Amino acid sequence: MIPLTPSPNLTDQVYGRILEAITDRALPPGQRITQNELAERLGVSRQPVSHALHLLHRQGLLAESGRRGFEVTQLDPERIRQLYEVRGAIDALAARMAAKRARTDPAGRAQLEAALRAGRTVDKATPLARLVALDVDFHTAIYRLAGNPVIEETIAPQWPHMRRSMATVLGELDYRQTAWREHEAIAAQILSGNAKAAATAAEAHAQSAGQTTEERLRAVGEAA
């Protein structure tokens, strides 16, 4: 087999920066971008930009647009609803397993408690990118406390799409507070060891988030 060339860390950095711009809508849906433009804006050569753009394209975050160009894809409301339906089942499983291990995994418990404390700092001035990162950290802490790495591995490919969907609703002041109240309720059940209630709360949160996001996306689409 032909040896592969290891991807330099710079490619990861470029990927992360572009993904962040897509998530917080600095690069909005429909925005056309090119390798040359991004390389110039990021102060890097075209090679890491090319690698990052093609990875984002494979993940469905970018679509080809003209010669050597890409554009940011639109979020599909129905697809997002379907994604949250699956995530609800996964989150329920993770919360149930996390509750059963909450008393025997002090490191995992501490990570969840730390994520919860960080979420309590959310207010109307919190930047959108920070809101999304805190949300991801909270759910990741539950996945890890669950003690089954397959859960996190299964959900990982969907995080870029979920981060975009989160940004759609977390920009609204009312919803960001609602989301963290629901996080508090989930965490309380997990930390108290109530597996059934934790699973119910986690699934309800995912389904509610999916419905809210779908409605918001449809409203934006109709307004456009």
According to CATH, the superfamily of the domain at 77-223 is GntR ligand-binding domain-like (1.20.120.530)
Q: Is-above-0.95 flag for pTM?
A: no
pLDDT in tens, 171-191: 776 788 889 999 999 999 999
- The correct CATH number of 9-72 out of 1.10.10.350, 1.10.10.60, 1.10.10.10, 3.30.230.70 is 1.10.10.10
Residue 73 DSSP code: P
For residue 128, which amino acid is it? L
Model pLDDT for residues 124-158, shown as the tens digit of each residue:
889 888 999 999 999 999 999 999 999 999 999 99
In percent, how much of the chain has pLDDT > 70?
94
